[in-house]
Structure formats: structure tokens, C-alpha cells
Chains A and B, each alone.
Chain A
Amino acid sequence: MSATETAHEPSVDVIDLRVALTTSGVDVVDEITVEVRPGEVLGLVGESGSGKTTVGMALLGHVRRGGEVAGGVIRIDGRDLSSLGERELRSLRGGVVSYIPQDPGTSLNPALRISTQLEEILEAHAPEGGAEQRKARVREALEEVALPSDDEFLKNYPHQLSGGQQQRVAIAMAFANRPHVIVCDEPTTGLDVTTQARVLETVRDLCQSHRVAALYVSHDLAVVAELADHVAVMYGGRIVESGTRDQLFLEPRHPYTRRLLRAVPDIAGKRTVVGIPGHAALPGSRPQGCYFHPRCEFARDDCRAEFPPVTELGEGHKVRCYHVADAVQKPPPEGAGQAEKPRVGDDVVLAIKNLNAHYGESQILFDINLDIHHNECVALVGESGSGKTTTARCVAGLHKQWTGEVSLHGTALEESARKRSNEERREIQYVFQNPYASLNPRTTIGQTIARRLKLFGRGGGREIGSKVGECLERVALSSSAAERFPDQLSGGERQRVAIARALAAEPSMLVCDEVTSALDVSVQAAIIELLGELRNEIGLSLLFITHDLALIRTIADRVAVVTGGHVVEYGPTEQIFTSPSADYTRKLLANTPSIEVALGHATTGS
């Protein structure tokens, strides 16, 4: 076989892959057909439970416990994985196929030095090379990912490195044995945008220079738009649409892809985000017919009968939908409640003056000044460790070690929530980042909200039940959710409950601490829509903490950019995006992945 021929052979060739549960035979993923050629990046996009990680793992010859490969063929470099034994698979992994995990914090061994871990993986696949040779190769691998390669650095343990450095060590390990195929499982999810940009660049450069075929599994469409040559969108364990990057992002055909793209906020376009109503189709609870039909506005009888076959639209652009033509004609719906922003009042609800905060000996915040007017949304943007959450916690009285002045309606507040009056506590409500941790797992939703109503004298006695129902309906949940426990709800529903709990107090000020970062994009969009609606309906001031610049463009009136405990930029949202004054803001904007920028079509959007 000549060199030119091998270049055209796909490195990864998956045909009709089916992974099913061993016990019930229910499929986790089915009818997966993808190919990746050397030097190409295939972006595999999907929301939680879509099966994208299962496909990624299958390329490594791995299926999670309780499942099995029930059909189809996976060929890596022309070798059928099903024909390989456990020993051959093991030599394949880390050698021919390697893996970049989501969280380097858990994938690196905390008890071993960086050098030991890198040498181990080299030794496992090329035991004949000498120690000196390996050492040299380790240095080379680290230089490839732009890490220092001196002895000092090699002696480090994983915990001595930053998150971005850890991830680059993981990448160096993945590329150490010159793999032909690499599976990336959301390798930048836990990283700040600046670090993410560097890591993505490293992955892209290495794939290109070593002609590696990469499968990039991600829920982040903007990252995929920047990185991938081809994209496949998964829903309910099926690939519903696939094609080149431009086909998929410029001419999306499947209703799900179109709705998903409308749910992604983008820094380049000031457009509203629109969530997708309904639930994701998880294995075992998937509907008859097309799995997307219960959430699809174009659904007809044929959609309910059978899953649509693959239709080839253009060259390589495949879609599984009966009503592609309808979907293209009708533009996706506009976001409700965001089209026009509520009028911002003149009176200041919350004023922060010269806020300095400490954790023990170290100072976290330096002279923060902010004010939030009635019905205004002020976003606090920064990377992890910037002090944005500490600011929010000082306002709420959760963090007590601070000086300066935080005043509500002109009255200065005590440091801790316990020392404030019940009325002051009622006025400022806090919504936490992770809805999986912010609700008591042993208390029903109804009990949680009823207690909050009683605590703030907003209801009691016989009408408490209907009052709880009202609270739930305000966040677009059915009042029957009151009888449920948190684990019976999805992440998005839990976050709605957390918002309902906060609103039960009828606050004037809502502090939202990264409220969407634990959620899928379609759910994130729905929560953003909800907050917009609530502002219009009941008049609410928001302090919106986030790391995602793209997200705030549609929701915030003013933005404060924080880094290292200082506010480096503070002004109207549009101004921050169009003419940022601080270098840090510019850097942040440049590093935030954007679909529109990636495609070179920076439009103002709808």
C-alpha cells in the first residue's frame, strides 16, 4: 500500500455501531456510522445522555459496565476491534488510539511525579527503548504541548500544576506514543476560556502536524465550530445530522440541530437564546418513532411511527428527518421575554462600596464598587479564582470576612446573613451554581418551598399548598412537582425549583451564581429565557455571576469584568463587547469560542 493510498483510508471507520445494555438489550447508541481520516477532526456533539461518550469509548474498545457492543464494526487503521483480544486491545490503547479525558485532575495519578507518569506510558508501549531515550522523549512530548521540560518541572506532582497545565500533561501523555487516532472527551470543559483556547490550539496543531485522526466529543458547539472539520450531531443515541462544519453550522437541516444552534449564545451576535422545551430522550424512555418528535414543532404522524432513515442532502451532508423542507422554511422561534429588555429604574437597590474580602490571611477582593438599579441586570464576569463568586457571597452574607459597605435600599448590611434582619434576608435571594447540590435530597420540593414561604411570612396555614403551586407555576413547572424529591427531576427542573424557592421570598434582588454552568445548552437557554420573563413580569434586579461572556450579551444591562479581585472594566453591555477598554476584556473576548467568528460570518443575528 503506497503512502498516498493510506492517506485516503479513514483511520477510524465505524459502521452501524450498536451498544446495548446487557440485561435488557435496550440500546444506548445505535446505527452509528462515522469515519475520520488522518489529520481530520470530527466533532461529535450532543447533550447529556445522547450517547456521545459511549461512541468515543467504543473507539478505545471500551464499553461501560452493564453494556456491550451488540452490533456493527469499528475499524481502527483497518483493524476490526471485535477481532482483537484483551491483550491486543491493551497494546492498542495509548499506542495506536489514545484518549484525552475530561478532567485531568482525576485522570493523573496524584501520587506520581509527572516524569514517572509520562515514562510509564512510553515504557508500556515501547519497552525496548532505554531510560535515556525515554527521558528525551518525555521532554519532547512536553515541549510539544508548550510546557517547560526542565528537570524542575518534571519533578512536579499533578497537584502542583494548574488545571490547564494538568490538561496539557494529559495531552502530552495521549500524544506520547504518536497515536493514529485520538479520542478527546470534552477536554476543555473544566477550564477557563484563556486556558481552553491554548489547549484547543495545542490539540489542533498536534493533530495536523502528526496527521492524527481525532474524535472530539463535546457539548459545546462553539468549541466544535472552531476545531472540527466534520461534525456529527447526536440525539437519543443516534446521529441525527452529519456533514462538514460549514454544512452543519451554515445550513443546518435537522430541527434539533437548528434548535440547538438557537440555544447557543454567541459573543459575535446580539441575539436571544431559545431553549428547547421537553425532555431529552434517555435510553429506556425514548418515544416511538423519531426520538425528537415530542419536542419538535414539525412532528406529524410519520414521525410518530418510525425513526426516519438517512437522507443524503449534499455531498456528505446526511440528515435523519422526514420534514427537512418544512424545517428550513420556518425560522426557529424567537426568545420570549428577551426581545425587549425591561425598563431599568432610577433607584439603586444594591450598592457595593469599597468591598474588600479576605479568606484567612489572603485578600480576595480589592475595592469592588458596583451598584444595581431597580429592574437591572448587572453581570459579573471573570475566570475561576477571579473573586466573582466571593463578591456574590459577600452580598448574600455567606462570606463573612469583608470590609467596606454593601447597602440595600440605602441601608448598610451586616457581614453575615445571620446578623441581618429577616426582612433584609428576604430581599436578597441567592441561586446556587449546582442544582444537584443546592436542594436537600431528603425533602420534597413542596416542603422546601413551603418552608421558605413560612420563614418569610409569605403564606401559611391552609392556602400554603396553592401558594406552593403558584411558585412552581411561575417557573414553568407543574404544581404536581411539589410531591417530588429532587432526584426525580432533571438538572434544568431542579434549577427552576431553586429559582422558585428564591422567588417564594418575593425578593427585590436575585443573586445568580453561575446558575447555568451545570446545565446543557438547551436547558441553559430555557433558564435564561425564564429569568428574562421573570424580570418583565415581577420586576427583579439581578446580580448575574458567570464565566461565559457569550451568555450575558442577551441578558445583562451592565457588565463588570473581574480578574484577580479587581474590577477591570465596568460599563454597559454593548460597550464591553464593541469597544472594550481593558486589555483583559479584549483577551477574554478573543479567547471565547464563537460559532460565528469561527465560520467567518460575524453577523448581528436576528
Chain B
Amino acid sequence: MTDQTVEQALDLVPEAGPEAPPPRLQRFQWLGILRNASRLTRTRIGLGMVGVIVLIALLGPLFAPHSETEFIAAPNHGPTSDAIFGADALGRDVFSRFLYGGLSVLWMSAAATLIGVVIGTAVGLIAAYSRNWLDDVLMRLNDVVLAFPQIIFVLLAVSAIGPKTWLIVLTVGITHAPRVARVMRGAAQQIVERDFVKAEEVAGEKRSRIIMEGLLPNVTSPLLVELGLRMTFSIGLIAAVSFLGFGLQPPAADWGLMINENRLSIAVMPWGVLLPVLAIAVLTVGTNLITDGIARAAIGLERSNE
């Protein structure tokens, strides 16, 4: 008898005793979810899309034919053998600027996502665990931040302090946090009511330890989904802020900035806008597909139900 059939058999026979046990769990839930997600076609497509963009962003500068600030042709010059996607509004190589301009979007989005998810998870778990005035205070503060559209909040901070990359990363992260916190609080509330948490409380276990070892490992599936979802939003937001001119400052290369610089000449020289737009689109659709795959794997949808 192979293990596979044993497990199938066990799953099929519900315990008819007074209380049926919950379904079988995996050792490291998040690893299992990622493994199952990676079997889904949508996740694979997503991984491929994100992989291509990440490679371009990371290795692009090594293969760029020109420097990102070098003037190589007349403004809005069409494609040549030297500049295969032509020159931008100032006469710089579009392709080289494209290859240089991805890294900032990627690292800023990743950093903002990380900040948002870490703060949000901490707030959510603490609120769910406390179940008292602290829960109320944290969640009402959340509501205050949620009342502002994210982009308004970021622009407000940037116009007050200045167009600093760290500020953009921080504010995007902070505005993510309440959204993450709400989801994590909801997930953790069900765990808090379970007896194993009460067993720790009655033994006088440290609160921080109950949260880190009792709650956190049991909410990994919404955590993974939030991570993916916030990454998608971060990319869009960071690119938008750059486009509005509050991100990296000229003459640095950045996809959002490139769109802005070349939008007036789009009729003459579309590549300067098209390349970064395509890259951002592929990246967000890709992260979204991965997130969707993770979400499906987390609720146990098999491949056949895709």
C-alpha cells in the first residue's frame, strides 16, 4: 500500500465519533501552498511573466548598448541599427533607458510591500489577540488611514517633504498596512478562539510568544495572498508616482518617468511609452496571476477546477 492511497483512504472516511476532526494539515503550511500553487497553469504563466521582467531589470544594465543619459541621436529619432527602439524626446537611446529603468520600480515595490505586510500583520495579529480597547484603538486608527486613497497620501507626503525614494517606499508601505491588518485580523480572530491559544494563556505564556508561535504559523495562507496582492498594488502605485514626477528625478532612467517624458511625442515615437507600459503591465498581470494561484491553492482548489 502506498502512502498516497492510505492518505486518500483516511480523507474519505470521516470520523463518525462525537466530534469529527479537522482535515489533515501539512507540516509547513506555506511551503505546501506554494508547492500546490506552482502546479497551477496560471501560477506558471505568472511566474514566467514576472521572471522575464525581473531578468530585464536585474541584468538589463549589463547588456545596455549605451548609457542611460547619453545623447545618441536627434530627439524622437526613429529606430536605427544603433538604437533599435529609436531615441527619446531628448535624443537618448530608448532601449538603454528601458533596460536601466526597471530596477528602481522593482526594489521600491518590493520594499514597500514588505514594510506594509510586516506592519499590517503585526497590527492585525495584535488587534485580534488583544480583544479589548487596544483592538478598538488599532482598528479605528486603521480606518483613518483607510479613509485616504493611497495615492493622495503618498503625494501629500512627497509634496510636504520632497521627492525622496525612501519617503515613497515608506508611505506606500504605511498605506498598505491597514489593508493588510484588516485581513490578518479577520484570519487570526478564528485562531484566537481555539483552545490551544487558551491553553497557552492559562499557562501564563508570554503574549509575544503566543502571537509569534500560536497565531502567525496558522495564518500563513492569507499572509501569502496579501503579500502577492500588495506587490501588485505597489508596482502600480510606484510607477504612478514616478510618472507624476515625484519618483526618481531626471535624468535617471525609470519606467514611470519614461512614460511621462515621452508621452507628448507618442504619435511620432511610440516606443518610449510603449516599452515601459508593456513591462509594467506584464509585471502586474504576472504578480496578480501568481497571487491568484496562491489564493486558489490556499483554499485547496485542485488543478482540474482551475
What residues make up the interface of A, taking CB atoms closer than 8 Å to B?
A: 21, 23-24, 26, 28, 46-54, 64, 66-67, 185-186, 189-190, 217, 219, 282-285, 396-398, 417-418, 420, 422, 425, 429-430, 432-434, 436-443, 451-452, 455-456, 485, 487, 491, 498, 501, 505, 517-520
Is the Cβ of B198 less than 8 Å from the Cβ of A398?
yes
Complex alpha-carbon distance, A284 and B19, angstroms: 22
Nearest neighbor of B201 in chain A, beta-carbon distance: A417
Nearest neighbor of A46 in chain B, beta-carbon distance: B16
Q: Which residues does chain A contribute within 8 Å of B203, judged by CB atoms?
A: 417, 425, 429, 452, 455-456, 505
Complex alpha-carbon distance, A67 and B14, angstroms: 13
Question: In the assembled complex, how far is the CB of residue A83 from the closest CB belonging to chain B, in whole angstroms?
Answer: 26
Is the Cβ of A52 less than 8 Å from the Cβ of B16?
yes
Q: Which residues does chain A contribute within 8 Å of B12, judged by CB atoms?
A: 21, 28, 64, 66-67, 283
Nearest neighbor of A49 in chain B, beta-carbon distance: B13
A-B contact pairs, 24 of them (CB 8 A): A21-B5, A21-B9, A23-B8, A24-B9, A26-B5, A185-B16, A219-B17, A219-B18, A283-B13, A284-B8, A284-B9, A285-B10, A396-B202, A398-B202, A434-B19, A437-B196, A440-B217, A442-B29, A442-B213, A455-B205, A498-B199, A517-B19, A518-B17, A518-B18
Q: Which residues does chain A contribute within 8 Å of B6, judged by CB atoms?
A: 284-285
Q: Which residues does chain B contribute within 8 Å of A429, judged by CB atoms?
A: 203
Is the Cβ of A283 less than 8 Å from the Cβ of B218?
no
Is B251 part of the contact surface with A, judged by Cβ < 8 Å? no
Q: A49-B15, A432-B195, A441-B25 are in contact. Are A283 and B9 (CB under 8 A)?
A: yes
Contact pick for B16, options A49, A433, A452, CB 8 Å: A49
Q: A285-B1, A455-B205 are in contact. Are A518 and B19 (CB under 8 A)?
A: yes
Is the Cβ of A441 less than 8 Å from the Cβ of B205?
no
Is the Cβ of B204 less than 8 Å from the Cβ of A24?
no
Is the Cβ of B202 less than 8 Å from the Cβ of A438?
no
B154-208: which have CB < 8 Å to A? 194-196, 198-199, 201-205
Contact pick for B19, options A24, A397, A436, CB 8 Å: A436
Contact pick for A24, options B5, B13, B195, B213, CB 8 Å: B5
Q: Which residues does chain B contribute within 8 Å of A49, judged by CB atoms?
A: 13, 15-16
Question: In the assembled complex, how far is the CB of residue B80 from the closest CB belonging to chain A, in whole angstroms?
Answer: 60
Question: In the assembled complex, how far is the CB of residue A388 from the closest CB belonging to chain B, in whole angstroms?
Answer: 16
In the A-B complex, the 3 residue pairs with the smallest Cβ-Cβ separation, listed nearest first, are A284-B9, A442-B217, A438-B195
Q: Which residues does chain A contribute within 8 Å of B204, judged by CB atoms?
A: 417-418, 420, 422, 425, 455
**Interface of chain A, helix or strand or loop or mixed?**
loop
Q: Which residues does chain B contribute within 8 Å of A23, judged by CB atoms?
A: 5, 8
Q: Which residues does chain B contribute within 8 Å of A501, judged by CB atoms?
A: 199
Nearest neighbor of B210 in chain A, beta-carbon distance: A440
Q: Which residues does chain B contribute within 8 Å of A439, judged by CB atoms?
A: 196
Is the Cβ of B16 less than 8 Å from the Cβ of A48?
yes
Is the Cβ of A282 less than 8 Å from the Cβ of B202?
no
Most buried by A among B15, B16, B213, B217: B16
Question: In the assembled complex, how far is the CB of residue B19 from the closest CB belonging to chain A, in whole angstroms?
Answer: 4
Give 18 new A-B contacts, CB below 8 A, not counting A21-B5, A284-B7, A438-B198. A21-B9, A26-B1, A48-B16, A49-B13, A64-B12, A67-B12, A283-B13, A285-B6, A398-B201, A432-B198, A436-B21, A436-B22, A438-B195, A440-B218, A442-B28, A442-B218, A455-B203, A485-B25
B206-226: which have CB < 8 Å to A? 213-214, 217-218
Question: In the assembled complex, how far is the CB of residue B140 from the closest CB belonging to chain A, in whole angstroms?
Answer: 22
Is the Cβ of A417 less than 8 Å from the Cβ of B202?
yes
Nearest neighbor of B196 in chain A, beta-carbon distance: A440
Is the Cβ of A441 less than 8 Å from the Cβ of B218?
yes
Is the Cβ of B17 less than 8 Å from the Cβ of A491?
yes
Is the Cβ of B199 less than 8 Å from the Cβ of A430?
yes
Q: Which residues does chain B contribute within 8 Å of A397, judged by CB atoms?
A: 202
Question: In the assembled complex, how far is the CB of residue B221 from the closest CB belonging to chain A, in whole angstroms?
Answer: 12
Q: Which residues does chain B contribute within 8 Å of A432, judged by CB atoms?
A: 195, 198-199
Is the Cβ of B9 less than 8 Å from the Cβ of A26?
yes
Q: A487-B24, A518-B17 are in contact. Are A438 and B201 (CB under 8 A)?
A: no
Is the Cβ of A438 less than 8 Å from the Cβ of B199?
yes
Is the Cβ of B13 less than 8 Å from the Cβ of A28?
yes
Contact pick for B14, options A26, A53, A418, A420, CB 8 Å: A53
Contact pick for B18, options A53, A283, A517, CB 8 Å: A517
Complex alpha-carbon distance, A480 and B27, angstroms: 17
Q: Which residues does chain B contribute within 8 Å of A52, judged by CB atoms?
A: 16
Complex alpha-carbon distance, A432 and B202, angstroms: 11
Is the Cβ of A47 less than 8 Å from the Cβ of B17?
yes
Q: Which residues does chain A contribute within 8 Å of B201, judged by CB atoms?
A: 398, 417-418
Most buried by A among B21, B25, B199, B205: B199
Is the Cβ of A519 less than 8 Å from the Cβ of B8?
no
Is the Cβ of B1 less than 8 Å from the Cβ of A284?
yes
Question: In the assembled complex, how far is the CB of residue B4 from the closest CB belonging to chain A, in whole angstroms?
Answer: 8
Nearest neighbor of A504 in chain B, beta-carbon distance: B203
Nearest neighbor of B23 in chain A, beta-carbon distance: A487
Q: Which residues does chain B contribute within 8 Å of A433, judged by CB atoms?
A: 195
Question: In the assembled complex, how far is the CB of residue A490 from the closest CB belonging to chain B, in whole angstroms?
Answer: 9
Complex alpha-carbon distance, A191 and B41, angstroms: 48
B1-53: which have CB < 8 Å to A? 1, 5-19, 21-22, 24-25, 27-29
Q: Which residues does chain A contribute within 8 Å of B16, judged by CB atoms?
A: 46, 48-50, 52-53, 185-186, 217, 219
Is the Cβ of B24 less than 8 Å from the Cβ of A438?
no
Is the Cβ of A284 less than 8 Å from the Cβ of B217?
no
Q: Which residues does chain A contribute within 8 Å of B15, judged by CB atoms?
A: 48-49, 491
Nearest neighbor of A23 in chain B, beta-carbon distance: B8
Contact pick for B195, options A417, A437, A455, CB 8 Å: A437
Nearest neighbor of B218 in chain A, beta-carbon distance: A442
Q: Which residues does chain A contribute within 8 Å of B25, judged by CB atoms?
A: 441-442, 485, 487
Nearest neighbor of A396 in chain B, beta-carbon distance: B202
Is the Cβ of B8 less than 8 Å from the Cβ of A24?
yes
Nearest neighbor of A29 in chain B, beta-carbon distance: B13
Q: Which residues does chain B contribute within 8 Å of A418, judged by CB atoms?
A: 201, 204
Question: In the assembled complex, how far is the CB of residue A480 from the closest CB belonging to chain B, in whole angstroms?
Answer: 16
Nearest neighbor of A27 in chain B, beta-carbon distance: B9
Nearest neighbor of B193 in chain A, beta-carbon distance: A437
Q: Which residues does chain B contribute within 8 Å of A443, judged by CB atoms?
A: 213, 217
Q: Which residues does chain B contribute within 8 Å of A417, judged by CB atoms?
A: 201-204
Complex alpha-carbon distance, A437 and B198, angstroms: 10
Question: In the assembled complex, how far is the CB of residue A224 from the closest CB belonging to chain B, in whole angstroms?
Answer: 14
Q: Which residues does chain A contribute within 8 Å of B14, judged by CB atoms?
A: 53, 64
Complex alpha-carbon distance, A456 and B18, angstroms: 34
Q: A434-B195, A518-B17 are in contact. Are A425 and B10 (CB under 8 A)?
A: no
Q: Which residues does chain B contribute within 8 Å of A28, judged by CB atoms?
A: 9, 12-13
Most buried by A among B14, B19, B194, B214: B19
Nearest neighbor of A516 in chain B, beta-carbon distance: B18
Nearest neighbor of B11 in chain A, beta-carbon distance: A66
Question: In the assembled complex, how far is the CB of residue A369 from the closest CB belonging to chain B, in whole angstroms?
Answer: 23
Complex alpha-carbon distance, A48 and B217, angstroms: 29
Is the Cβ of B17 less than 8 Å from the Cβ of A51?
no
Complex alpha-carbon distance, A49 and B17, angstroms: 8
Complex alpha-carbon distance, A46 and B15, angstroms: 11
Complex alpha-carbon distance, A23 and B198, angstroms: 41
Complex alpha-carbon distance, A185 and B16, angstroms: 9
Most buried by B among A24, A217, A519: A24
Q: Which residues does chain B contribute within 8 Å of A425, judged by CB atoms?
A: 202-204
Q: Which residues does chain B contribute within 8 Å of A54, judged by CB atoms?
A: 13
Question: In the assembled complex, how far is the CB of residue B31 from the closest CB belonging to chain A, in whole angstroms?
Answer: 12
Is the Cβ of A51 less than 8 Å from the Cβ of B13?
yes
Nearest neighbor of A54 in chain B, beta-carbon distance: B13
Q: Which residues does chain B contribute within 8 Å of A285, judged by CB atoms?
A: 1, 6, 9-10
Q: Which residues does chain A contribute within 8 Å of B5, judged by CB atoms?
A: 21, 23-24, 26, 284
Question: In the assembled complex, how far is the CB of residue A91 from the closest CB belonging to chain B, in whole angstroms?
Answer: 27
Question: In the assembled complex, how far is the CB of residue B130 from the closest CB belonging to chain A, in whole angstroms?
Answer: 12
Q: A48-B17, A51-B13 are in contact. Are A440 and B1 (CB under 8 A)?
A: no
Complex alpha-carbon distance, A443 and B18, angstroms: 25
Question: In the assembled complex, how far is the CB of residue A267 from the closest CB belonging to chain B, in whole angstroms?
Answer: 19
Is the Cβ of B8 less than 8 Å from the Cβ of A440?
no
